[in-house]
């Protein structure tokens, strides 16, 4: 599936955000709970993030061109970074509303009906998050994963708010509602920081995860046993794409054809170990001392 097909999942997220805004807004109007208000405000973040995800996935779907020979897939990191920033803004707004309610407590109304509406909204978010997370894992989309993780965070946040509002109704402790809202703000702040951090690391060409690097190393073991050596092994990930490069050292008496055949097999094995990986290999004679000095990223030094 290409990024163009992934756009439909962004539309699903947009629909879910609109539905939950309406439901959570109704729950807040029914109860007057600042905790439920904080939950509704976060749904606006969900909508903004889903719209931006739609925009980014449309860019990521563009084919490679002369100026972007590796395509546009790294645009997905802007989506997760943008979503993380929106989450941090929402956290600040929620904290402000909570502090104001702590200073000026107000009784809650129609708690039972308001909580029922909020539960329905959370169920919608949970169902959509599971669909998005499954698609993100299958198609290695960081934009969809960020959206899915945010929705799941929203579900657990809503659960905490629901418990808090129910606690206020049961105990009459009005401070419990804004206290839960502050806890919500702290929770989503952590998630926002994680998303921004992951986006920055992705744009900095971070190496593949340890599990995938281990799979590459195991794929090369068979060739090492046959006398082939490797160095300057580098990896990086770009949203849904993976890149692997290395120098392959073989006996100098090998023919070009034999060396080429081994490189083809190495690239195929790595492609099987890391599905979708783009592999670059550089052939060198094992006996030449210069081959062992040529290990820097900048090969001029």
Give tens-digit pLDDT for 216-232. Answer: 999 999 899 888 999 99
Contact 56, 81 (CB under 8 A): no
State which of 203, 230, 258 marks the end of a domain. 203
| Residues β-bridged to residue 247 | 231, 282
CB 111, CB 163: distance < 8 Å: no
The pLDDT of residue 257 is: 95
- Residue 2's pLDDT is 47
CATH number at residue 244: 3.30.70.1350
Where is the domain boundary, 203, 237, 266? 203
pLDDT tens-digit series, residues 90-104: 778 778 877 877 887
On whether both 108 and 176 belong to a single domain, the answer is yes
Give the pLDDT confidence score for residue 300 in this predicted structure: 55
CA-nearest of 294, 233, 283, 232 to 261 is: 283
In the predicted structure, residue 108 carries a pLDDT above the cut 70: no
pLDDT value of position 298: 65
> In the chain, what percentage of residues exceed pLDDT 70?
93
Overall number of domains in the chain? 2
**Per-residue model confidence as pLDDT tens digits over 2-30:** 445 678 888 999 999 899 888 888 888 88
pTM of the shown model = 0.66
Is residue 153's pLDDT more than 70?
yes
| pLDDT score recorded for residue 221 | 93
What is residue 234's three-state secondary structure? strand
Q: Print the domain residue range for 247.
A: 210-293
Instruction: Determine the Cα–Cα distance for residues 64 and 71; give it in Å rounded to an integer.
Output: 4
Confidence of residue 299 (pLDDT cuts 50, 70, 90): low
Mean pLDDT of the chain: 83
Same domain membership, residue 178 and residue 42:
yes
pLDDT given at position 1: 42
- Residue 122 sits in a domain whose CATH number is 1.20.1510.10
Tell whether the model's pLDDT for residue 109 goes beyond 70. Answer: no
Report strand pairing: 241-250 vs 229-238: antiparallel
Question: Does residue 301 sit within a domain?
Answer: no
Please check whether residue 187 lies inside any domain of the structure: yes
Select from 170, 203, 236 the last residue of a domain.
203
Structure confidence at residue 297 (pLDDT):
66
In this structure, the answer to whether residues 10 and 144 fall within a common structural domain is yes
Pair (48, 177) in one structural domain: yes
Give the phi and the psi of residue 97 in degrees, each rounded to 5. Answer: -65, -40
pLDDT at 170 over 60: yes
Tell whether 240 and 260 lie within a shared domain.
Answer: yes
Residue whose C-alpha is closest to residue 243's, from 263, 213, 286, 264: 213
Got the DSSP string for 137-168? HHHT-HHHHHHHHHHHHHHHHHHHHHHHHHHH
pLDDT band at 283 (very low <50, low <70, confident <90, very high): very high
Label residue 83 exposed, middle or buried (CB < 10 Å: 0-12, 13-18, 19+): buried
With bands split at pLDDT 50, 70 and 90, how would you rate the model's confidence at 200? confident
Is residue 300 assigned to a domain? no
């Amino acid at each position: 599936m290409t990024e163009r097909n992934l756009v439909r999942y962004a539309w699903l997220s947009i629909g879910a955000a609109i539905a939950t805004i309406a439901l959570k807004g109704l729950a807040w109007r029914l109860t007057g709970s600042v905790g439920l208000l904080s939950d509704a405000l976060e749904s606006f973040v969900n909508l903004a993030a889903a719209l931006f995800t739609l925009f980014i996935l449309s860019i990521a779907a563009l084919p490679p061109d002369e100026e972007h020979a590796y395509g546009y897939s790294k645009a997905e990191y802007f989506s997760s970074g943008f979503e993380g920033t929106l989450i941090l803004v929402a956290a600040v707004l929620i904290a402000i509303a909570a502090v104001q309610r702590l200073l000026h407590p107000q009784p809650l109304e129609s708690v039972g009906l308001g909580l029922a509406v909020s539960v329905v909204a959370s169920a919608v978010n949970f169902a959509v998050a599971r669909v998005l997370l499954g698609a993100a894992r299958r198609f290695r989309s960081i934009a969809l994963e960020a959206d899915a993780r945010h929705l799941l965070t929203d579900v657990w946040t809503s659960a905490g708010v629901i418990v808090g509002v129910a606690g206020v109704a049961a105990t009459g402790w009005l401070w419990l509602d804004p206290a839960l809202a502050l806890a919500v703000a702290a929770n989503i702040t952590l998630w926002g920081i994680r998303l921004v951090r992951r986006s920055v690391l992705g744009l900095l060409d971070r190496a593949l995860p340890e599990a995938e690097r281990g799979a590459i190393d195991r794929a090369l073991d068979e060739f090492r046993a046959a006398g082939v050596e490797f160095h300057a092994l580098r990896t990086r990930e770009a949203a849904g794409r993976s890149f692997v490069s290395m120098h392959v050292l073989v006996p100098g008496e090998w023919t070009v054809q034999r060396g080429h055949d081994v490189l083809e097999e190495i690239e195929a094995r790595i492609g099987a170990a890391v599905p979708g990986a783009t592999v670059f290999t550089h052939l060198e004679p094992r006996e030449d001392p210069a081959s062992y000095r040529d290990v820097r990223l900048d090969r001029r030094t």
